[in-house]
């Protein structure tokens, strides 16, 4: 699922720009910018820009480093989705590098093992990882530099090690029990018998070797040969179904309406969205303006709805948090990459393929075993995905942005868009503004960041919302990055203060002449 937002709606009606006390200024430069939730990854992308690479090259390099430095959220054992804006032609390209289920992973296969509901982790949640195929497809069509150059920073850090940052160390600690349950995972990610602490140096030389194969052979270095055989071997050992196959701003009224709209949209998403190769998904109906108007009329401005039904649409074959990284890149020419990549849950399936350093994802946990549901598990079928890279434009203004966090993503994106389009915030202010999220699908509960005015939170409660106030700088509301061009030749970037990340500008070629 790729979100492309192509118009700003209410900027002229917004009046005075809201006052947002941003913790940092937006980045501004005439050259490129890489924004990521870990500075080493952003810097790797900048190195590629300074080497002559474009936005696609830099995005792949940054993502490869992210796969090492933020291993609980992403890695080459997961999926990837991206949007590419080509400045020269003004065209947008979407990439869905999400893998499908193994051919033999069916409801019948699981029932024979006594499994009647999709598990949340383990080998039966592992679908074919799509990230490396995504890198290969992006670089082949749009990149300028060889894969060996793009993966060089990640390989270096995997061999030489890097100091773990604060926020990532906290997540590492929270996953210690899951890692300890699997010997190969514990050996790889708890090398000293404990989760890595902030400032400790982590190395993953096996991952370095795996990346070298990709650097040398492209996608074949992952989907064929030693790495592919290792993934299939661990699947076979664990009783899995995988085989060597194809590779495949914040007033009460505004927030109330946005929360209610989220419930309506997600009710439809859960009811109808599935792999379109297996189900007749009513995309036109779901995205039509008339459908939006009809659903909007169901919002009661005086109270919260605690039980929302999906739309009743015709022509449909009958038929649920995730951990992810997001990064965005703009190069000196104005090309933009909006890229999101994930293991789904923190530490994915918990399964590491032997001698690869690769944690396999658990995106397959999003399948259902409910007979007749469009998202029913089937071989060679993609599960429902929460991954949403985003892009918005109006005239000369182009913004590649994203805010990760499972089912939080689309609702966080809507708030970012509103902050920019309706209230005139810049990309850094829009990322820092307080947010809400509702990750459950029923009831009136809603998490609201403490940065949202107390008056608004109190009035939301009076409307029937069960508000849970979350302290600032937590992971509840996801982590976002953004880059922007306004057509003037100046580029802008923003990065979440809720994480360790940065938007890092490319240096001018003063030493390259």
Q: What's the CA gap between 387 and 448, in Å, rounded?
A: 22
Identify the bridge partners of residue 466 per DSSP, sorted by sequence position: 445
% of the chain residues with pLDDT over 70: 94
Q: Is the pLDDT of residue 1 over 90?
A: no
Q: Would you state the pLDDT for residue 283?
A: 81
Mean pLDDT over 209-227 rounds to 93
Mention every residue, 6+ apart, whose C-beta is less than 8 A from residue 373: 274, 318, 319
Mention every residue, 6+ apart, whose C-beta is less than 8 A from residue 12: none
Q: Would you state the pLDDT for residue 387?
A: 84
Q: Is the pLDDT of residue 197 over 70?
A: yes
Q: Which residue has the higher pLDDT, 455 or 2?
A: 455
Q: How does residue 513 score in pLDDT terms, banded at 50, 70 and 90?
A: low
Reported as a single tens digit per residue, the pLDDT across 229-257 is 999 999 999 999 998 784 336 788 888 88
Instruction: Answer whether 48's CB lies under 8 Å from 61's CB.
Output: yes
Reported as a single tens digit per residue, the pLDDT across 331-377 is 999 999 999 988 888 898 999 999 999 999 998 888 989 898 888 99
Q: Would you state the pLDDT for residue 466?
A: 93
Q: Is the pLDDT of residue 286 over 90?
A: no
Reported as a single tens digit per residue, the pLDDT across 108-152 is 999 999 999 999 999 999 999 999 999 999 999 999 999 999 999
Q: Would you state the pLDDT for residue 214?
A: 96
Q: Would you state the pLDDT for residue 247?
A: 32
Q: Is the pLDDT of residue 405 over 70?
A: yes
SS3 state of residue 397: strand
Mean pLDDT over 389-408 rounds to 91
Reported as a single tens digit per residue, the pLDDT across 71-112 is 998 999 999 999 999 999 999 999 999 988 998 999 999 999
Average pLDDT, the chain: 88
Q: Is the pLDDT of residue 487 over 50?
A: yes
> Looking at 103-112, 172-181, 186-195, 316-325, which range is the least confident one?
316-325
CA angle 76, 81, 87 (to 5 degrees): 120
CA neighbor of 286 nearest in space, from 390, 415, 410: 410
SS3 state of residue 445: strand
Mean pLDDT over 21-25 rounds to 81
Q: Is the pLDDT of residue 438 over 90?
A: no
Reported as a single tens digit per residue, the pLDDT across 47-79 is 999 999 999 999 999 999 999 999 998 999 999
SS3 state of residue 78: coil
Q: Would you state the pLDDT for residue 456?
A: 92
The Cα-based distances of 12 to 104, 253, 360, 420 in angstroms read 55, 19, 47, 12
SS3 state of residue 35: strand
Task: Give the domain ranges of the chain.
Answer: 3-248+319-505
Q: Would you state the pLDDT for residue 311?
A: 82
Mean pLDDT over 182-196 rounds to 94
Q: Which CATH class is domain 3-248+319-505?
A: alpha beta
Q: Would you state the pLDDT for residue 16?
A: 66
Report the residue count for the chain.
Answer: 513
- Residue 353 exposure: Cα atoms within 13 Å on the Cβ side: 29
Q: Report the Cα 236 to chain-centroid distance in Å.
A: 29
Find the DSSP H helices in 218-331: 220-223, 225-237, 252-272, 283-287, 289-296
Q: Would you state the pLDDT for residue 282?
A: 82
Q: Would you state the pLDDT for residue 15?
A: 55
Mean pLDDT over 214-224 rounds to 92
The first and second tokens of residue 362, run together, are 């658990």
């Amino acid at each position: 699922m790729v979100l492309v937002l192509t118009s700003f709606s209410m900027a002229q009606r917004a009046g005075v720009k809201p006052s947002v006390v941003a913790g940092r200024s937006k980045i501004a430069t005439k050259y490129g910018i890489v924004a990521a939730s870990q500075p080493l990854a952003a810097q790797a992308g900048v190195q590629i820009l300074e080497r002559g690479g474009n936005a696609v090259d830099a995005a792949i390099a940054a993502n490869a480093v992210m796969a090492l430095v933020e291993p609980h959220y992403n890695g080459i054992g997961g999926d990837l989705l991206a949007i590419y804006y080509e400045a020269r032609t003004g065209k947008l390209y979407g990439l869905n590098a999400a893998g499908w289920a193994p051919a033999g992973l069916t409801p019948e296969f699981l029932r024979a093992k006594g499994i009647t509901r999709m598990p949340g982790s383990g080998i039966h949640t592992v679908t074919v990882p799509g990230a490396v195929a995504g890198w290969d497809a992006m670089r082949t069509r749009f990149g300028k530099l060889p894969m060996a150059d793009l993966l060089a920073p990640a390989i270096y850090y995997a061999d030489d090690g890097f100091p773990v940052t604060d926020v990532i160390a906290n997540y590492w600690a929270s996953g210690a029990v899951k890692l300890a349950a699997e010997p190969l995972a514990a050996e790889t990610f708890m090398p000293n018998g404990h989760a890595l602490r902030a400032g400790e140096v982590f190395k993953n030389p096996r991952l370095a070797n795996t990346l070298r194969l990709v650097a040398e052979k492209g996608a074949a270095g992952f989907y064929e040969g030693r790495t592919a055989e290792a993934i299939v071997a661990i699947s076979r050992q664990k009783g899995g179904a995988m085989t060597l196959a194809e590779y495949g701003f914040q007033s009460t009224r505004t927030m109330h309406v946005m929360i209610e709209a989220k419930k309506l949209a997600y009710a439809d998403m859960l009811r109808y969205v599935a792999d379109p190769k297996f189900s007749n998904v009513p995309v036109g109906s779901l995205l039509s303006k008339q459908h939006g108007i009809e659903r909007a009329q169901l919002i009661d401005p005086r109270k919260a709805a605690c039980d929302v039904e999906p739309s009743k649409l015709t022509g449909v074959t009958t038929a649920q948090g995730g951990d992810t990284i997001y990064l965005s890149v703009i190069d000196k020419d104005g090309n933009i990459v909006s890229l999101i990549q994930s293991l789904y849950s923190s530490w994915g399936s918990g399964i590491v393929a032997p001698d690869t350093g690769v944690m396999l994802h658990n995106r397959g946990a999003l399948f259902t075993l409910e007979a007749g549901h469009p998202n029913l598990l089937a071989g060679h079928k993609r599960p429902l995905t929460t991954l949403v890279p985003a892009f918005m434009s109006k005239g000369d203004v182009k913004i590649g942005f994203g805010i990760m966090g499972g089912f939080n993503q689309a609702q966080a994106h809507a708030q970012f868009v509103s902050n920019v389009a309706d209230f005139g915030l810049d990309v850094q202010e829009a990322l820092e503004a307080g947010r809400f999220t509702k990750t459950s699908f029923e009831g009136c509960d809603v998490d609201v960041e403490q940065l949202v005015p107390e008056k608004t939170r109190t009035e939301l409660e009076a409307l029937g919302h069960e508000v849970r106030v979350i302290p600032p700088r937590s992971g509840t509301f996801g982590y976002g990055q953004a880059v922007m061009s306004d057509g003037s030749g100046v580029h802008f970037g923003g990065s979440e203060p809720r994480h360790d990340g940065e938007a890092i500008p490319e240096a001018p070629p003063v030493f390259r002449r």
